[in-house]
Amino acid sequence: MPNTATLEINGQKHEFPLVKGTENEVAIDIKTLRAATGGITTIDPGYKNTGACESAITFLDGEKGILRYRGYAIEDLAQKADFLEVAFLLIFGELPNQEQLEEFHSDIKAQSLVDDDVRKIIDAFPKSAHPMGVLSSLTSALTAFNPSSVNVNSEEDMYHAIVKILAKFPVLVAWTLRKKQGLPLDYGDNSLGYVENILKMMFKKPNEEYVQSQVMVDALDKLLILHADHEQNCSTSTVRIVGSSHAGLFASISAGISALWGPLHGGANQAVLEMLEAIKEDGGDTKKYMAKAKDKEDPFRLMGFGHRVYKNLDPRATIIKVSADKVLNDLGVEDPILEVAKGLEQEALNDDYFVSRKLYPNVDFYSGIIYRAMDIPTDMFTVMFALGRLPGWIAQWREMRLNNEPIGRPRQLYIGETHREFKNIKKR
């Protein structure tokens, strides 16, 4: 294979190097394009063909349905690791040994208090506020309570910022839920595992003892692992681009939360459940909704279907589907919308519109059914996604800062008015 690509413009040839990744993916390095061509740029809305960075964190092959964190298959991690191990792996590049894991957890626990004044901010939100808006604001507010900026040349500073956000974020998540439910805010229990503590912080009632359910712990652990990173998706790219201006880690993550909120991205898990509920209420007529999804005049999309990169089964969806059956069974929950979901999936997998466009169920299609069985309210689903994605955002931010990447600043092709003479207001 050649190691350069040639671009010919008006008879003039320009050569650009081809670069190869460790999985033999090839990219054309166009860093010198504008300088070589006198300012010609590329246009690629949605960055469908543009690699924004080199990254050593997550590998995804959308054609083969492969997902690996730092080289480890998602199937292995979901089955054999716990969320904190995966967080360490994503952020620092290697699976921790027992001692490293314990030290990491103990450093996180040491930072798990959130300034009590943050309660005043939560109190100012109406109960009707969407939890994602609350979470994004609270994460940004953390910057005000922890104002010292991170010196990225200091491993110690970097580590300190990372354990701080891993410690305080679950508290904010739990407080967001508790505020909605009118429950007193709680600081958790440092004697528990990371995921056990999250569940207790979310669900403990003030007047009764909280009893851990291993089914819930395992289910949440798995869901968090499956959501932990997904290379340069919309929210991760947001975190990297905000961080590239040297805004701090908490501010960058707050921006990532806002990006995740949208229904085309993490917000799809809430949208899926609302869609399944609507279909059930409508008599379970899946055919009607399939027709709507295929109708180009109708803005309705089959939520939880399709993916920018996967043109095959999303491996996370495959794991979650099996898990949904097991969790509902173990928790003794019968949810008719699981059947609606399965029916819809079967129809889509046999429908030419979906098959020809390679639209398969994605991670969000079945996750909401599990969250619902765990008694997590629908508008908290995307918050749970954010909780899982946190280590990925941190890892990607850290990589971007350590690589000293330039500020993210795309170009454009201007198609507006050319120069116009200013008209006095009386003459307009």
- For position 344 contacting ligand CMC by CB under 6 A, the verdict is no
Q: Which stretch binds ligand CMC (CB under 6 A): 76-84, 166-174, 189-197, 355-363?
A: 355-363
Considering the complex, state which of residue 167 and residue 338 has its C-beta at the smaller distance from ligand CMC.
Answer: 338
Considering the complex, state which of residue 85 and residue 229 has its C-beta at the smaller distance from ligand CMC.
Answer: 229
Size of the site for ligand CMC (CB under 6 A): 20
**In 10 A of CB 3, how many CB atoms?**
10
**In 10 A of CB 7, how many CB atoms?**
15
Does the annotation count 218 as an active-site position? no
Which residues between 357 and 376 bind ligand CMC (CB under 6 A)? 357, 359, 362-364
**CA distance between the termini of the chain:** 61
- Given candidates 306, 315, 388, 391, which one binds ligand CMC under the rule CB under 6 A? 306
- Given candidates 67, 114, 161, 302, which one binds ligand CMC under the rule CB under 6 A? 302
Q: Which stretch binds ligand CMC (CB under 6 A): 65-73, 143-151, 259-267, 333-341?
A: 259-267
- For position 293 contacting ligand CMC by CB under 6 A, the verdict is yes
Does the annotation count 116 as an active-site position? no
Closest distance of CB 46 from ligand CMC, Å: 6
Considering the complex, state which of residue 14 and residue 311 has its C-beta at the smaller distance from ligand CMC.
Answer: 311
- Given candidates 178, 180, 240, 265, which one binds ligand CMC under the rule CB under 6 A? 265
- Given candidates 172, 303, 370, 386, which one binds ligand CMC under the rule CB under 6 A? 303
- For position 194 contacting ligand CMC by CB under 6 A, the verdict is no
Q: Which stretch binds ligand CMC (CB under 6 A): 6-14, 162-170, 283-291, 296-304?
A: 296-304
Considering the complex, state which of residue 162 and residue 268 has its C-beta at the smaller distance from ligand CMC.
Answer: 268
Closest distance of CB 310 from ligand CMC, Å: 8
Considering the complex, state which of residue 221 and residue 314 has its C-beta at the smaller distance from ligand CMC.
Answer: 314
* Catalytic residue positions, numbered: 307, 364
- Positions touching ligand CMC (CB under 6 A) are 46, 233, 264-266, 268, 293, 301-308, 357, 359, 362-364
